[in-house]
Structure formats: structure tokens, C-alpha cells
Amino acid sequence: MKKHNVVCMAIIGACLFLLVGFNDQTKRIHNPNLLSIAHRGASSFAPENTRSAFQKAVELRADYLECDVHLSKDGELIIMHDDKIDRTTNGSGYIKDMTLDELKALDAGKSFGVEFQGETIMTLNELLEEFYGQVGLLIELKHPQSYPGIEEKVVSLLMGYEDISSIIVQSFDVDSMKKIHTLLPEIEVAILVHPSESLLSAKKLDELTSFASYINFNVSFVSKKMVDNVHERDSKVLVWSKKDKRLVSKAHKFGVDGIISDFSVWPTEEPIFLVQE
């Protein structure tokens, strides 16, 4: 009987230790002032840029969902990272050469896991209809120069929503973001900075921050001084990383405003961020 009591006490003690450790670790990592942006949804947990990934990110309390947008052959705003469907679906070819019906017939989940078989490609309109008001949205225009009129289509869609304060549109294409800003000045736009161009001059920063609310960098190619320079111009900084496992600690050190990652909430153990550009 005594041995049984000792075992029970040991189990209770271990549980208490784990609970205390969990709470302590959560407090240590969590920073309410650091935005958590779910990269292509919670793409470590579900097929990227799909309803399952976005829903999982909401469940994990992400501040924003990040998604990538292209145009289909019939002018629909399609959510997918690549301009081809080969990597993430059971099909082959370019999005621009396919209609919405053809894209909707594809399986966008099975390659990630059999439990996601039958997952379909989403449109930006569907994403807004389902998640607007629940979470912020970070919409990236991929290769907008390949899709004439994509800015007008995105703006037309967003103008149907009364409050767009929790929506950001971003791109590596500066001219595209200038166009979005001109068409819809009240929307926040972000410039993604290529690693090779991350040493921005004061003149370039002045130009970009004159219309962009965010200047976003790969964390491995930005310094605290550059972050401070952006902040001095009343704009903000989001960072991402392709290989750097120290993403969180660097983000804290540099004083950035948010992290774009495949995780959508700070884990309770030291996280490894597996983020792709």
C-alpha cells in the first residue's frame, strides 16, 4: 500500500512539474506585442494555403493568416504559393492557364497527408468570406507583373468590406504596392525586401515608407539598426526566415513587430521555424 502511495505521489509530482514548466515556458516565449503571422496558414500542421491550414492557425490563435494570390485563366483570385500547381496538388501546369473549375477539381491535400485527401484550392473571396473578422489577413501578390489587372481585382474585392484595418497587402513588387496604395489608400501595404537588396539606403527607405506601412525582411539579412531606421519613419517590420532556427530570439533582439512563420503561435518548447520564401 505504501509503495502504491509513493508511486501516486511521484506521478502527481511529475504532472505538477510539467504544468509549472509549461506555464513558465509559455510566459518566457510569448510576447503580446509581437504579431504572429501564420505563413500560408499553419503550414507545419496542414497543407499550405488550404482551408485546413487557415483553420488550424485560427485555432492556434494566430494574429494574421498569410496567403499568396495568383490569377486563373478566367480571372479568379487563386490562393497558392507557386505559379504552377505541380508541387502542392495532383495536377500539372500553370494557374494562369487553368479555369477556376479546373483548379477546383484538383486535390490540394493528399500530398501532405492522406487525412487531407480531397482538400481543394481556395479563392481569396472564399478566404475572406470564411475568416474575415476572426483574424487578420496578410495577402501577398505573387508575380503581379504576370497578371495584368490583379491589383484592381484585389482592391475591388476588399472594397466590399467596411473595415479593412486588419488586412495588409504585400509583395516584392514595389510598383504593384504603389498601385494598391493609389487605388485604396486606406489599406496597409507592405514591401517584401529581397535578401540581396536588404541594405536599404536612407533615400530608399524614405521612398518606401512614404506609402508602405510595413517593410519586411528575411531575419538573416536585417540588422537592429535597419529595423530602428524603419521605425523612425513610422513604419513597421515583419521578419521571416528560411533556415534560421533563431528566428524568435533574433526577432526579440531586433525589436521587430511580428514574425511570419509556419507556426502560428509560440510553442511551449523552443521552436524550430521552417519557413520558405
Mean pLDDT by 10 residues, the chain (277 residues): 46 39 34 85 94 94 96 98 97 98 97 95 98 97 97 98 97 98 98 95 98 96 96 97 80 94 54 39
Q: Which of 169, 118, 161 minimizes the C-alpha distance to 144?
A: 169
CATH number at residue 146: 3.20.20.190
Residue 267 lies in a domain: no
Average pLDDT for the chain: 86
177 and 60 within one domain: yes
Range of the domain at 17: 1-30
pLDDT of residue 1: 47
181 classed as catalytic: no
17 and 66 within one domain: no
The whole-angstrom separation of Cα 123 and Cα 99 is 12
174 and 257 within one domain: yes
Residue 268 lies in a domain: no
Residue 271 lies in a domain: no
Q: Which of 126, 84, 121, 128 minimizes the C-alpha distance to 100?
A: 121
252 classed as catalytic: no
Choosing from 4, 30, 70, 81, the catalytic residue is 81
Residue 85 lies in a domain: yes
State the helix-helix crossing angle for 224-232 and 247-254, rounded to 10 degrees. 50
pLDDT of residue 31: 60
7 and 139 within one domain: no
Residue 273 lies in a domain: no
Distances in whole angstroms, Cα of residue 186 to Cα of each of 158, 180, 190, 236: 11, 10, 13, 16
46 and 15 within one domain: no
pLDDT of residue 86: 97
181 and 120 within one domain: yes
243 and 193 within one domain: yes
Residue 151 lies in a domain: yes
What residue spans of 60-217 are helical by DSSP H? Answer: 100-104, 124-131, 150-158, 174-183, 202-209
CB 65 within 8 A of CB 57: yes
105 and 5 within one domain: no
Choosing from 39, 70, 143, 181, the catalytic residue is 39
